[in-house]
Amino acid sequence: MSPHRQPQHVVVMGVSGVGKSTIATSLASRVGYEFAEADEFHPPANVEKMSAGVPLDDADRMPWLRALADWMNRRHDEGRSTVMSCSALRRSYRDILREGAPEAFFVHLVGDQALLLDRMDHRKHFMPSALLQSQFDTLEPLEHDENGVVLDVADPPESIVDRAVAAVEGAARPDDPSG
């Protein structure tokens, strides 16, 4: 009999264009966790602002981040594990997410800015490539005391997902190590 595990919550994070949604949906499918796209939690005013090329400020982000934390917390209370794609650019934003899931595991996707600009120029999304620099300016990489892994997106998506799955499975801890 395998040991009972607490629900696990994974946030696939990074600046726009790193492939958060692609990697997170594949990761969720592979590990069998419920998926959420954080962009779908933005209120219309945030989407309009970003579509107009205006970066969000912290006042715009706070209700959105709290809604994401609440979503994870509700799933946790139901015993369900989750994977979410979310920029989570600052430590303070990740701290809010951890209010909903204290043991959240972050998969920080990183990549060369030129590669990301090219990707953004070839996709349909409300976030224009002109805002990428503002995201890099805001980004605070994972700190040594944050639960997570950093993965470069220069490799093919399947390879990135393989490494993400290995990191997530390595981070999962049984409730009772004695079984």
- Count how many Cα atoms sit within 13 Å of the Cα of residue 77 in the half-sphere of its side chain: 7
Q: Judge contact between 65 and 76, C-beta under 8 A.
A: no
Quote the pLDDT of residue 118: 67
Quote the pLDDT of residue 142: 95
Whether residue 46 lies inside any domain: the answer is: yes
Whether residue 116 lies inside any domain: the answer is: yes
Q: Which residue has the tokens 């970003």?
A: 50
Quote the pLDDT of residue 70: 97
Whether residue 68 lies inside any domain: the answer is: yes
Q: Say how far apart CA 163 and CA 27 lie, in whole Å.
A: 10
pTM score of the predicted model = 0.84
Q: Say how far apart CA 104 and CA 98 lie, in whole Å.
A: 6
Quote the pLDDT of residue 40: 92
Whether residue 2 lies inside any domain: the answer is: no
Whether residue 59 lies inside any domain: the answer is: yes
Q: Judge contact between 103 and 10, C-beta under 8 A.
A: no
Quote the pLDDT of residue 2: 36
Domain containing 79 equals 9-170
Whether residue 176 lies inside any domain: the answer is: no
Whether residue 177 lies inside any domain: the answer is: no
Q: Judge contact between 66 and 94, C-beta under 8 A.
A: no
Whether residue 42 lies inside any domain: the answer is: yes
Quote the pLDDT of residue 176: 38
Q: Say how far apart CA 75 and CA 77 lie, in whole Å.
A: 5
User: Residue 57's domain is classified under what CATH number?
Assistant: 3.40.50.300
Quote the pLDDT of residue 177: 44
For each of the chain's 179 residues, which pLDDT tens digit applies? Answer: 234 478 999 999 998 888 899 999 999 999 999 999 998 999 899 888 877 878 788 899 899 999 999 999 999 999 999 999 999 999 999 999 999 999 999 999 998 877 776 655 555 544 555 566 777 888 899 999 999 999 999 888 999 999 999 999 998 755 434 33
Specify the number of domains making up the chain: 1
